[in-house]
Amino acid sequence: MPGVNGLEVLHELRARGIARPVILLTGLTDDAFEEAALAAGAMDFIDKSRRWPILVRRIELIAEAARRNAERPPQQMPEAIRLGSLELRFDINRAHWAGQTTDLTLTEFQILSRLVRACGEDVSYRDIYDLVHGKDFAAGYGPDGYRANAKSFIKRIRKKFREVHPTFNQIQNYPRFGYRWISE
């Protein structure tokens, strides 16, 4: 695409309120670019060197996951959850820590709300990954690639909370399993 890259197109789509699933097919294999694409809401990031059957299968898996998510009955969410210094506003998909807005993406907000709703309980890497990509979706890094993806999301969420409050430590890691939100 002359003059623009896939990440810029993705940002423009999201800015216009277009929430269609996006897969970036790219020759750029830099981890930072992949992380930026996933953070911006891409469903997958695929190297152009992949064989055609692999590309088709990944598209089919994403379409299947999107279909399952659309068929799922909507859950009743409270307007807000307050837990210590945290306030989650489901009506506007915003998180506040000690009264300050934490600038999370919609995906990060969904992950955070999953952790908070399970306060004190373990949430597996797979649960976090499935929340983002749909149940049993597999992308990159082999059969355990979901772990790296989930870790990357949690790292960004922690960073954003620490920008608001440097001693933020409510998301605890349980190595080889997942994460847990702990109350203050």
Distance between CA atoms of 86 and 106, rounded to whole angstroms?
A: 17
Say whether 79-184 and 1-74 share the same fold: no
Across the chain, mean pLDDT equals 81
pLDDT at 91 over 60: yes
Q: Is the pLDDT of residue 59 over 60?
A: yes
Is the model's pLDDT at 125 over the cut of 70? yes
pLDDT at 145 over 80: no
Task: Categorize the per-residue pLDDT at 56 as very low, low, confident or very high, splitting at 50, 70 and 90.
Answer: confident
> What sign for the dihedral angle of Cα 43, 49, 51, 52?
positive
Q: Which of 145, 133, 152 is nearest to 39 (CA)?
A: 152
Q: Give the pLDDT confidence score for residue 69 in this predicted structure.
A: 60
Domain residue ranges in the chain: 1-74, 79-184
Give the helix/strand (H/E) hosting 123.
strand 123-124
Architecture of domain 79-184: Orthogonal Bundle (1.10)
Residue 45, helix vs strand vs coil: strand
Which of the following CATH numbers is that of domain 1-74: 3.40.50.2300, 3.30.70.141, 3.30.450.70, 3.40.50.2020? 3.40.50.2300
Q: Is the pLDDT of residue 143 over 70?
A: no
Residue 74 has pLDDT above 60, yes or no: no
Q: Which ranges in the chain belong to alpha helices (H)?
A: 6-15, 31-39, 52-71, 106-117, 125-133, 145-164
Structure-block tokens of residue 127? 């649960």
pLDDT at 171 over 90: yes
